[in-house]
Amino acid sequence: MHHDVSHLLSRLVNGTLPLRQIYFASNNSPAPELACRVDFPRLEIMLDGEFTDAAVSDTLMPGDVLYVPAGGWNAPQMNMPATTCSILFAKQQLGFSLVQWDGTSYHTLAKQQVARRGPRIGSFLLQTLNELQMQPQEQQTARCVIASLLSHCCDLLGSQIQTASRSQALFEAIRSYIDDNYATPLTRESVAEGFYISPNYLSHLFQKTGAVGFNEYLNHTRLEHARALLKGYDLKVKDVAHACGFADSNYFCRLFRKNTERSPSEYRRQYHSQLTAKN
């Protein structure tokens, strides 16, 4: 089975994996021991296999969906291997969880979160499901509402992917700019201004997308070029520092030693000594 959440939801929306019976769990009856109960509404979607659930006293088959309202509960009883997709509609985000029961233990196949933003489409559809609890026999309507809700989830997941792609593209452009202009007096503020973003967002972009801070990346780039100059040219240390964008040669020497455990001069001597030994 494909473990990508977006792919699975798309199959349910376009009918490749048809929606069957829509069940409604009650939030009024007392929950049995070990029941799953949360403060937000949930969808439990049966993808493969089958299981019974005390919330509806019935067996759920592939394509069946159980809607659990806020404060409601369900208590699945797995008697054979089964795979389910759970969607939790919290206030600020949606939580997706793909879980498999292999007959002896549970395995989380996929887990994902996405922010709830934009029009309150999801909230309106959930309210409709709450009203449909009073008329569970209206299955065609319930399936349409569930399909619309899943389509809304797909849109949010797709928007997250697009946002991530835009962030990655912006990060790559900024990194390329630094690689080309490392020798100039770059600062977080000047680079952010050049790309029409705030300095705080620039820092966030490097930490989230590049997993490294802006200054850390800038210094790493400058030190890489400094090592190349020390190996290939007989320049004074202060000239190497200035050529690589370090205005303060003493700071350059401290940073170089911190990263290589050698001073620039020691690094150059050791490199040439090793080069002579090879020849």
Instruction: Check if the beta carbon of residue 150 is closer than 8 Å to that of residue 12.
Output: yes
pLDDT one digit per residue (tens) for the chain, 279 residues: 456 788 888 888 888 889 999 999 977 777 777 788 888 999 999 999 988 888 888 899 999 999 999 988 988 888 889 999 999 998 888 999 999 988 888 888 888 888 887 668 899 999 999 999 999 999 999 999 999 999 999 988 887 766 667 788 888 889 999 999 999 999 999 999 988 889 999 999 898 877 789 999 999 999 999 999 999 888 999 999 999 999 999 999 999 999 989 999 999 998 888 777 765
pLDDT at res. 158:
82
Q: What is the pLDDT of residue 207?
A: 87
pLDDT number for residue 16: 84
Q: Which of 116, 110, 83 is nearest to 97 (CA)?
A: 110
Taking the C-alpha atoms of residue 239 and residue 253, their distance in angstroms, rounded to an integer, is 12
According to the model, what pLDDT value does residue 3 have? 64
CB 241 within 8 A of CB 226: yes
The tokens describing 143, both together, are 């399936």
Longest dimension (CA), the chain: 88
Could you tell me which of 271, 260, 266, 264 has the C-alpha nearest to residue 243? 264
Q: Strand pairing partners for 87? A: 43, 96
pLDDT of residue 11: 86
- Residue whose C-alpha is closest to residue 124's, from 113, 115, 116: 116
Residue corresponding to tokens 């939801």: 9
